Each structure stands twice: as structure tokens, then as C-alpha cells.
Chains A and B, each alone.
Chain A
């Protein structure tokens, strides 16, 4: 149910279209709009709020009575955090789609910002801190695994 979840769609550069119906429809709707047009579009009884950053479009589908300016700034808030995390150059060149771990990181970050379509945390520092903790957990596990395999390798020499 799109209504209650205010589904967040991490959309796509123009060449890579999503295939599910919803996304295809939305892409058709949004990608054809000129840059000077309003970034709020009515769609199937909902409102789609989108914003374009270089070749990436971010859109949120929300209820009719939601405050679209607020939503627009939620998107920007997310983008600012991505910006800070990846560094502005690397992610804006669609690196989310080209670097092996960027797309997964984008998901972690999103999960720290939105749940159930609602804003969870508005402090970018807090989000950055929590994502860093997760990263360190993953790193720690990796090191542990490699040291284990080293030990095994040593032992079986």
C-alpha cells in the first residue's frame, strides 16, 4: 500500500529504467517533465514529489494532504547526507550505480532517515554517526574472518 508507506523510490538515471509498473509509470511521468515545471505531480490520487540532482531523480509518493515542501526538504536532507558520506563528486556521477558498495550504503543511509515513509532522524550528524557504527561492525567482521582464515591457513600449512 503506497499510501501509508509513502514509498521512497530511489530512482535512476535516464538510461536505466525500472521495470516494475509503478516505476515505469512514474519515470514516464517525471522524466518527461521540463526543468522549469513544478516538482509536485498528481498521480493516481497521490502526490509525487521529486527532485533532480544531476542525472539522479529522487521521488517520494505521498498523500494528497501531506505537506509537499516538507517532503521536498526530506529529499534534500537525504541527498545532503549522501553528499557528506560519499563526497559530492563521487555519488553525483551516478556512482551509486557504478561502485560496488555504494548502492548498499545508500540503502543503509536511507533506513536511518526514513521508516514507514516518515522522517526518523533530522540530524545529519546522528545519521553519519550511526552509519559509521554499522560500517565499523562490518569491517570488524571482515577482519575477524580474514584473521580466522589466516589462522586456518597457518595451521594447515
Chain B
């Protein structure tokens, strides 16, 4: 009897298998469904066993792809059968045929609950599986607490608890409002200590859902996740059955990394280091292997690890290093290939090497060195001559200090090969020669003559390409400075051709981060060196002894010490070869200046006699030391244009000239994103002789983190050097960073201190706000210190329109229509710094149409320092300082040309005001 029903199923299945076509199959299925339907209808007293066999058939039919829209009731009723086989079928068929929207499911809630809270763990498992697969709102409401209890119960076995974890996950995903997870952070942390990897895997899935909803509550779980990853990565205490193709549970690794991605940072350095080690292991340990499953699993982990890059910048750096390593390996391998089997290396392969090296600055010295090494070999392949000559022409100057790498030596070792090569290689060698010539500064006459002789020789060459190059290079190399521009290094190739790594954005990010992290100690050091914070700048005394003017400018230095020193200023002028020092302190002329202003002497060594210049310069410095802590001021060069005006322009613009004199031009280009800035300084040598002893130091204010890339000691004639400068804004402040720039041209030592336009408004991002956003915010910031109000007098006369455009120019967005009074102006912006993050700032200006010289300003933000600094900043922009303060400027001697000196002072209102405050 027991067998007959199941035999029915066997017969049915074999009937289906014997069907010749789809139509026959459908007929057979319809017949069977009709049969089952009749049974369910007519025979009220079906035993659980009988129900079971029909329900199985229904499931089978369903699996074949037919709709089964009856018999749900019977399936559900089997759940309450007392015996395991029937109950099991009831649960499985119910969860297959029904979904959470079926009303019949409600009938089962009580039975399911009884099974969950009951003592029979096999029943618990069945019930949890059903709820975990199709449980809806009703289940969440009545069962969630019971499921939670099972999950954390110490008396439950892993097989129940892992199901409880996923069951809870389902209920939480479906109805986050119903499942109460208050206080679950502790329980979760406990669960993540679980040793059973099945329970841990399920709990991790639950954890991912919880942190994706709100990571804030689960900080305490973060170290546990890292520990889990460590355990897996090191394969510590992982049972063999939990390794998948040799990889310790890739799924658990992926889930854990996924969970970590929801945390914005890792504060604890130890945890961060551990995670870094894990990621490093993943990165280094992932190879492409033959087994596809192992490959998939390890790459699943790798990709998840890569998504984690924000958490550990070091990881990125590691990636970058690896990338560089791969690059140099690539160059190595190709060069070896050319060396060993040059005949089989086509041109495009060595082109690729060139392209590669050109695009990777780090690789250039290395590649040049390798090329140089190959040239030492007695017999090398012609392709090797080509690639070596090209690389050395471009980059041998990077090796200049190494033995055997002087321009002369490089030239002669390459030239040795010339007799052995074919006509196709000679043009490359000619290019190399002219590049070597360009890089040998100062020019070596002997080398020059040698190379010129070669060019002359080939001027009459029968090969047109060689002839043309020889003629052109010969002419060019006699042009002197123009040579530099024409023969400058080849630009980078477009990124898309980068054969190894197309995701250049990742690399760029890594490079940015590297620049970001490397600097701290250097800056600290500099800050210490600059503990005396006075500073000043003068430039004067042209070397030719013509009448000179004093150039004055002011810099407000950030305070390095706790005392707030004031701006120093000084006027120095020089007339008719005599030096006069103007002390800015006399009370009659500058009553407003505080006593600790410092005057600095200009250079005494203006004498044209060059050999004495340096000596006298240092004498002057020792004189000056008594007065000024800044040290020697030996400038003898006059700037072109107004430094302060240039600075002010750059405060509102992102590119332009920061400084210029007859020898050098410093251009600047900036990009700002949130609290990060990237400035590029363009140091251009305008002359035909090199600028030497070039130094650029950044004197950083305490609120900025600045990292200037290496500035070369020498700028070749007519060349421009780009020096990226990374800026990170730590907190709101109006202090200004200063670039201390010096160089020597001939016998002139020039030193200028230039304010850098990394000013407060660069970290603003205009943001429009609506009335609905503005007013609640405005009201919630109720008063000092978050909201400050001040009546500002002495406002520059300007119309409301002009004021609006002024505000917009420094990135405060004027929101028209918010203030009903047409004489008022409301503006909003977001300020970015590390300490404040993105912070909304609101500004309101009330003007008096009858008296435009005063207004009332209210500034509000969530940070007291920011509110204050922003208020002061706006005030500086509004108040008309220049004319008012002009008389305060130290008066130069009458002989001075009036155009430069007063202008320089007066157009620097910000610093002047800052000095006065």
C-alpha cells in the first residue's frame, strides 16, 4: 500500500519521458492534474500520506513548467502533519508553489511558530527555511523575536542558528520597520566571533544588510570583520571542508569585505594595518590558474578587495607599486627579447617600449640606465641601438651624475655604433645627438663641435630623411634658446594606448593619495625651521645700476607659535647706489601698526662687480639679521607687474601668473575639489642661460597641509618646469600659505616670498538653497558663536548688483528672492575642510539704500570658527581698504618711482587688514 502511491509518481514520470512531443506531454499533465483535483475534491478524508504523494506530483508538474493553481490548501495543511516526511513535503512544496502574497500562508503561521519555538530541531529547520524563503509581513510581525532568540541562543546547534540568521535577514530586508534591531550591535559583535563557519557565513550576510542600513551603530564589529578576514587570508583554523579549491571560504571573504565597504574609514591604526596586510595578501596571491572555479573564486575575492580601496589608501599605493614593478618588468623583458632575438622583434614592439617609458615618469631613469647598460655590450642588435639611442636621447640627462653617463660619454658610446647601423637607424641617432646637445648645459664646445661636424657630414647624404634631419638639426642647434622649446621631451602618449593598465583613474587616484600621505614630516620640519614668523619681501636693485625703485609687499604669515604675530613690512629703497633703510615704525606715519613689525634691509650688494656680489650680499645679511629673522635678502631683480594684484586676481581665478621678473615667470593653475586642491606651479626660465640654485619652499599655515613636489635645482634655458602642489584644507582659517622662492641667475640671487592663492574661498562650493531649506536652517543656528552679526562700516561703494557678482565671484551663491526686502541679499555656500567636512554656510546682508557705506551682515554655519572666519573674509572683500590705508604705507624715498611701491602696498588689502587686526 505504501509503495503504490509512489509507484504512481514513477509511472507518471516515465509516461512524461515517453511523450514524443510537447503536445503529448501537455495532455498527460492535464490528465494528471485533473486526477489530483478530483481526489482533493471528492475524498475528504485523505490521509497525510496520500496528500503527500499528490502534492509531490504537483511539485513535479510545477517543475516541468506548468502552472499549478490549486491544491495550495492541501500543501499548506501538510505542514501541520505530525510526522517528519509529510511535514517536510508540506514545507518544501509550500515554499515552492506559494509566495508571500498568498492568503493560505496565513493559515500556517501558527503551526510554523509552534515548530520554531518547539524543541524538535529538524522541525525548527524546516520552519526557518520556509520563513527565510517566503516569509512576509505577517511572519515578521509574529515571528521575528523568536527567530532572533534562536540565533543568539547558546543551546541551539549551528544548523538551526545559521538558518535563523538568514531567516532574520529575510524578515529584516522585507520589513525593516517591523524587525526590532535596537541594541543588536553587541549581539552582532558576539555573532561575528562565531567559530562555526556556517553560522559565521550566514551571520555575515545578515551583518551586511544591517550595516548597509546604518553603519554607525556597528563600529564595534569592524575589528571583528578584519579579524575574520585575517583568519581566512592566513588560512588559520579553517577546516579543510571550508576551503573551496584551496581558497578559504571565498564567499565568507567576499561578504566580509562587502560589509567593510559600508564603513567610511578605519580609525584604529592596528586594524587598518591588519586589513592592509590581508588586502596585500589577496593582491599578491591572486594568480590566473587553469582551474576555472579556483580562478572565479579567487577573482571574486580580488574584485571585492579592490572595492575596498577607499578604506586603505596604502592598498592603492601597493597597487601602484605593483603596477610600476610590472612596467619595469615589461621594459626589462622586451629589452632582453631585443637583445636575444632582435630579428624577431618588429618595430611596433620597441615603439611600445618607448611609449611606455614616456608615459611613466618613474620608469624613465630606469629605462635610460638599462639602455646604457646594453650599449656596453660588444655587439648589439640594431633594434637595440634604436631603442637605446631613443631612450638615452630623451632621458640620459636623468642619469647625468652616474659614472659613464655624462653627455659626452653617452654621445661617444652611441656614436660608436653608427658605422654598424643601416640607413634607417641613422636618423634616430641624429635626433639623439641633437637632444644630447640640448641637454648638455652649459654647452661643451668640444661636444658641440663634434656633433656639428656630424651634422655637416650628413647634410649631403643621399638619403633624404637623414639629409633633412642633419640640415635642420644643424640650423636649430645654432639657434641657442629656441632649441630648448623645439627639442623638449616628447609629450605623453594618450592614456588609452597604455597597454598594461587602462584604469588610469585608479592609478591617478593612487598617485594623488601618495602625494597626500608622504608629506607630513617634511612639513613639520619646515614649520619648525620657520618658527620665527616674520617675513617680508623685497626686490630691487637691478644689476645695471640704473635708478631703482623699492618694491614692497606684505605677507601675513600664519602664526606658527601660539602668539599671534603681526605682519611685518618694510620698505627699502635704493637710490643712486646708496642704500637707505626705511623703518616703517615711526609713529607719525604708521600709527596703526603694532610694535613688533620688522623691517628688513635690502641688499647692500648691488654693485655690478659680480665677483663681490655674493660676499657683500652675505655681509648685508648679517647686518640685517639684527633686525630681521628672515635672513638674507639679496634680491637684485625687479619684478614685473604687481605681485599683490596678481595674487588678488588669482584668489578669484584658478589660473594666471603669480610672479614674473626678467628671468623667471611663475604661473599657476589650480583645481579645487571639496577640501582638496591641486595647484601646479609653472616655473619658466625666460632666458637663454640656465637658472640655478632654484629653491621653492612652502611655508604652510597650520590649517593647510601642503605638499610640493620636487623642484629641480636647475631650470634649463627657455624651459618650463611644472611642480604640482597638493593642498588639503584642515580647518577654516584665513591664513595664507607662502611660497619662498629663490634662484640664482648669473650673480644675482633672487628671493621672493609669494602668497599662494589657496585661500578660504577656494574651499567653498556654491550651492543654491530654496526657502524651505534656508529658513529652518537659519532659525536652528540661533546665535553666537554659530551665527554672528556685525555692522560693517567703510564699505566700498557698490550697487547691490555689484555686490551680488562680487559674492558669486568668491563662490558664495546669491539666492535671489529669499529675502523679501529688495535691499537685502541672501547667499549660501558649502565649505569643505577635514574638520568640518562639507558644511553649509548662510549669509545675509542688509543694506541701507540711503547709506551705501555701511551694512549689517549676518553669517551662520554649524562651526563657530568657520562662521567667524567667513564673516571676516567677506568683510575684507567688502571694505574699501586700499585708499584708506595708503597713507599708512611706509613712504619710499622721493627718488623712488611712485608707480610700483604704493600700488604694491595698497592693492594688498587683505594682508594689510590682517596685519592691522
- Whether A138 contacts B84 by the Cβ 8 Å rule is yes
- Which residues of A have CB within 8 Å of B174? 1, 4
- Which residues of B have CB within 8 Å of A119? 201-202, 205, 251
Name the one of B92, B170, B249 contacting A4, with C-beta atoms under 8 angstroms.
B170
Q: Which of B168-211 contact A (CB under 8 A)?
A: 169-170, 173-174, 197-198, 201-202, 205
- Given A67-B254, A67-B258, does the pair A120, B2 have CB atoms closer than 8 Å? no
- Whether B170 contacts A73 by the Cβ 8 Å rule is no
CB closest chain-B residue, reference A111: B129
- Whether A115 contacts B129 by the Cβ 8 Å rule is yes
- Whether A116 contacts B84 by the Cβ 8 Å rule is no
The answer to the question of A54 belonging to the interface, with a C-beta cut-off of 8 Å to chain B, is: no
Main SS class of interface, B: helix
- Whether B65 contacts A4 by the Cβ 8 Å rule is no
The answer to the question of A130 belonging to the interface, with a C-beta cut-off of 8 Å to chain B, is: yes
- Whether B170 contacts A115 by the Cβ 8 Å rule is yes
- Which residues of B have CB within 8 Å of A70? 250-251, 254, 297, 300, 304
The answer to the question of B767 belonging to the interface, with a C-beta cut-off of 8 Å to chain A, is: no
Q: Which of A59-78 contact B (CB under 8 A)?
A: 67, 69-70, 72-74, 76-77
Q: What is the CB-to-nearest-CB distance from A74 to chain B, in angstroms, rounded to a whole number?
A: 7
Interface size class of B (residues with CB under 8 A): 35 or more
The answer to the question of A104 belonging to the interface, with a C-beta cut-off of 8 Å to chain B, is: yes
Render B880-894 as a binary contact track against A, CB cut-off 8 A, 1 for contact. 000000000000000
The answer to the question of A125 belonging to the interface, with a C-beta cut-off of 8 Å to chain B, is: yes
- Which residues of B have CB within 8 Å of A19? 65-67
The answer to the question of A99 belonging to the interface, with a C-beta cut-off of 8 Å to chain B, is: yes
Q: What is the CB-to-nearest-CB distance from B580 to chain A, in angstroms, rounded to a whole number?
A: 73
- Whether A141 contacts B303 by the Cβ 8 Å rule is no
- Which residues of B have CB within 8 Å of A107? 59, 92, 96
Name the one of B64, B167, B297 contacting A16, with C-beta atoms under 8 angstroms.
B64
- Whether B244 contacts A121 by the Cβ 8 Å rule is no
Q: What is the CB-to-nearest-CB distance from A113 to chain B, in angstroms, rounded to a whole number?
A: 10
Name the one of B9, B64, B88, B133 contacting A97, with C-beta atoms under 8 angstroms.
B64
Render B236-251 as a binary contact track against A, CB cut-off 8 A, 1 for contact. 0001011010000111
Name the one of B63, B198, B300 contacting A10, with C-beta atoms under 8 angstroms.
B63
Render A8-41 as a binary contact track against B, CB cut-off 8 A, 1 for contact. 0010100111111001000000000000000000
- Whether B167 contacts A97 by the Cβ 8 Å rule is no
Q: What is the CB-to-nearest-CB distance from A55 to chain B, in angstroms, rounded to a whole number?
A: 14
The answer to the question of A149 belonging to the interface, with a C-beta cut-off of 8 Å to chain B, is: yes
Among the 9-residue stretches B158-166, B275-283, B774-782, B908-916, the one with 4 or more Cβ atoms under 8 Å from chain A is B158-166
- Whether A120 contacts B198 by the Cβ 8 Å rule is yes
- Given A138-B85, A145-B2, does the pair A123, B66 have CB atoms closer than 8 Å? no
- Which residues of B have CB within 8 Å of A67? 254, 258, 300, 303-304
- Whether A125 contacts B244 by the Cβ 8 Å rule is no
- Whether A116 contacts B170 by the Cβ 8 Å rule is yes
Name the one of A5, A23, A72 contacting B170, with C-beta atoms under 8 angstroms.
A5
- Whether B293 contacts A73 by the Cβ 8 Å rule is yes
Q: What is the CB-to-nearest-CB distance from B781 to chain A, in angstroms, rounded to a whole number?
A: 38
Give the complex CA separation of A134 and B129 in angstroms.
14
The answer to the question of A124 belonging to the interface, with a C-beta cut-off of 8 Å to chain B, is: yes
Give the complex CA separation of A104 and B67 in angstroms.
18
- Given A70-B300, A77-B244, A116-B170, does the pair A141, B65 have CB atoms closer than 8 Å? no
- Which residues of B have CB within 8 Å of A10? 63
- Which residues of B have CB within 8 Å of A134? 88, 122
- Which residues of A have CB within 8 Å of B159? 130
- Given A100-B6, A134-B88, A146-B2, does the pair A118, B205 have CB atoms closer than 8 Å? yes
The answer to the question of A90 belonging to the interface, with a C-beta cut-off of 8 Å to chain B, is: no
CB closest chain-B residue, reference A129: B159
Q: What is the CB-to-nearest-CB distance from A27 to chain B, in angstroms, rounded to a whole number?
A: 9
CB closest chain-B residue, reference A104: B56
Give the complex CA separation of A31 and B444 in angstroms.
75
CB closest chain-B residue, reference A3: B173
Give the complex CA separation of A18 and B376 in angstroms.
73
The answer to the question of B10 belonging to the interface, with a C-beta cut-off of 8 Å to chain A, is: yes
Q: What is the CB-to-nearest-CB distance from A63 to chain B, in angstroms, rounded to a whole number?
A: 11
- Given A67-B304, A126-B198, does the pair A99, B13 have CB atoms closer than 8 Å? yes
Q: Which of A104-155 contact B (CB under 8 A)?
A: 104, 107-108, 111, 115-116, 118-126, 130, 133-134, 137-138, 141-142, 145-146, 149
Name the one of A23, A73, A108, A121 contacting B92, with C-beta atoms under 8 angstroms.
A108
The answer to the question of B732 belonging to the interface, with a C-beta cut-off of 8 Å to chain A, is: no
The answer to the question of A52 belonging to the interface, with a C-beta cut-off of 8 Å to chain B, is: no
- Whether B167 contacts A116 by the Cβ 8 Å rule is yes
Q: Which of B1-15 contact A (CB under 8 A)?
A: 1-2, 6, 9-10, 13-14
- Which residues of B have CB within 8 Å of A74? 251
CB closest chain-A residue, reference B158: A126
- Which residues of B have CB within 8 Å of A20? 65, 67
Q: What is the CB-to-nearest-CB distance from A49 to chain B, in angstroms, rounded to a whole number?
A: 11
CB closest chain-B residue, reference A10: B63
**Residue ranges of A at the interface with B (Cβ–Cβ < 8 Å):** 1, 4-5, 10, 12, 15-20, 23, 67, 69-70, 72-74, 76-77, 97-101, 103-104, 107-108, 111, 115-116, 118-126, 130, 133-134, 137-138, 141-142, 145-146, 149
- Besides A70-B254, A137-B88, 6 other A-B contacts (C-beta < 8 A): A97-B64, A100-B6, A119-B205, A119-B251, A120-B202, A138-B84
Can you report 9 A-B residue pairs in the complex whose CB atoms are below 8 A from each other? A98-B14, A104-B89, A107-B96, A116-B132, A116-B133, A118-B202, A120-B202, A134-B88, A137-B84
Q: What are the 8 tightest A-B residue pairs by CB atom distance, in nearest-first order? A: A18-B65, A69-B300, A116-B170, A115-B132, A115-B166, A123-B241, A118-B205, A70-B300
